[in-house]
């Protein structure tokens, strides 16, 4: 049974992540927000530190635990607090420092979560150490990942990939890209597979980097694939098209990455709440946790509501990750965590800007930056509306064809 407190075995890791966020990320946050697309060189040293921690076994890295469909449920009487829970806790702390810099961390790309969830054992070993971006979204497909048009055609011992991907996080900096493509458009969702494509592969081209509202330190690329040949062994997982299992491989990736995105929103919102509480207290607004909200000032009552909403998002995030560690189906919980945290992140950060007035809106503090950064966390890895649709389908037991 899940305990909703931070496990003792992960408390040290979370504290280390918080210290790194406070001492390494927060001081350079504004610098790289202004210097969009400039690579934060300070992250190289931080990545080396994280690699050292990972080698001790204290954590499996961001999403490295994956959501494995081929594992049995949790052992009877045993509860795991493993890599997935460690990841969301550390990611939340790092995003308390800066979300965009966390997304720019070497060897911690969203594509690494896809590898962890879908790759076979031989591939897991072969791809160890790669920094993988994830290329899903296409012009015209938006949130409907099952409708992708990028194709992968088998030609001897290779697949030939053609198509265009947009909004690829770390698309320029990463050394490889996990590309989602269809083997047969007529077979629909079941034919969608993911491929590990190396950045120096002929046929892969980074066309441009996007200018964005937030997470400006993170490079977001448009990538095209023109007769891009990929060895057949770099198709992640099984090459067989199983109509019955359908989108299972892709969903396993989302079940892993959605709690991570929820963690980013939780961390960014927590940063806003912490700073806002300090600024309110400096202005003479006392927040009393021993008195009902209606007996306090409007500002204090609003803050208490925001904090309660944030707590709900954090607990859903932890539940989704804990279920993944214990090899329990978590698709519903992953979408619930992502939907709740994405909405709460935007609500909390914007409300904190409003509570702090001119200080919140100006660049004197980081509140305005966090409000800009948090919006993407309600959009990528499935928008708020898509998550609510998935949750409704799961609860009502309806298929995507039955509930659109």
Q: What is the dihedral of CA 81, 313, 60, 372, to 10 degrees?
A: -170
SS3 assignment for 294-323: HHCCHHHHHHHHHHHHHHHHHHHHHHHHHH
Longest CA–CA separation in the chain, Å: 73
Residue 16: closest CA among 56, 42, 53:
53
Q: What is the dihedral of CA 387, 389, 391, 396, to 10 degrees?
A: -170
Rounded to an integer, what distance in angstroms lies between the CA atom of residue 277 and that of residue 365?
A: 13
Task: Please indicate whether residue 381 is annotated as part of the active site.
Answer: yes
Q: Are 318 and 4 in contact (CB under 8 A)?
A: yes
Catalytic residue among 93, 164, 365, 381: 381
Where are the alpha helices (H) located in 104-177, listed in sequence order?
A: 110-118, 121-126
Structure tokens at 204: 């892969």
Total Cβ atoms within 10 A of residue 338: 34
Q: How far is CA 280 from CA 4, 197, 212, 350, in A?
A: 29, 50, 30, 15
- Catalytic sites, residue numbers: 381
């Amino acid at each position: 049974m899940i305990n909703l407190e931070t496990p003792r075995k992960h408390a040290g890791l979370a504290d280390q992540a918080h210290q790194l966020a406070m001492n390494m990320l927060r001081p350079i946050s504004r610098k790289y927000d202004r210097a969009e697309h400039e690579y934060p060189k300070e992250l190289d040293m931080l990545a080396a530190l994280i690699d050292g921690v990972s080698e001790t076994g204290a954590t499996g890295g961001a999403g490295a635990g994956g959501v494995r469909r081929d594992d049995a449920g949790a052992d009877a009487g045993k509860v795991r607090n493993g890599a997935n829970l460690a990841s969301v806790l550390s990611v939340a702390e790092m995003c308390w420092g800066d979300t965009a810099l966390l997304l720019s961390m070497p060897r911690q790309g969203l594509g690494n979560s896809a590898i962890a969830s879908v790759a076979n054992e031989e591939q897991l070993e072969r791809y160890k150490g790669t920094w993988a971006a994830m290329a899903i979204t296409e012009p015209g497909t938006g949130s409907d990942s099952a409708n992708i048009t990028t194709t992968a055609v088998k030609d001897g011992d290779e697949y030939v990939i053609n198509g265009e991907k947009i909004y690829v996080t770390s698309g320029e900096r990463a050394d490889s890209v996990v590309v989602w493509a269809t083997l047969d458009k007529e077979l629909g969702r079941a034919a969608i597979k993911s491929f590990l494509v190396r950045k120096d592969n002929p046929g892969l081209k980074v066309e441009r980097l996007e200018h964005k509202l937030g997470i400006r330190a993170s490079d977001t690329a448009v990538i095209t694939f023109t007769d891009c040949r990929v060895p057949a062994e770099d198709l992640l997982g099984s090459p067989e098209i199983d109509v019955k299992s359908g989108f299972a491989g892709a969903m396993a990736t989302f079940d892993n990455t959605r709690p991570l995105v929820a963690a980013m929103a939780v961390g960014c919102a927590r940063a806003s709440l912490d700073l806002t509480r300090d600024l309110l207290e400096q202005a003479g607004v006392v927040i009393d946790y021993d008195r009902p909200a209606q007996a306090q000032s409007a500002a204090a009552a609003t803050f208490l509501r925001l904090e309660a909403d944030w707590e709900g998002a954090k607990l859903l995030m932890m539940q989704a990750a804990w279920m993944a560690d214990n090899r329990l189906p978590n698709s519903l919980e992953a979408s619930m965590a992502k939907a709740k945290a994405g909405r709460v992140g935007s609500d909390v950060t914007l409300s904190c800007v409003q509570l702090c007035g001119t200080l919140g809106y100006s660049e004197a503090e980081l509140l305005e930056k966090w409000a800009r950064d948090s919006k993407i966390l309600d959009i990528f890895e499935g928008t708020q509306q898509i998550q609510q649709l998935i949750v409704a389908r799961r609860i009502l037991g309806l298929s995507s064809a039955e509930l659109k």
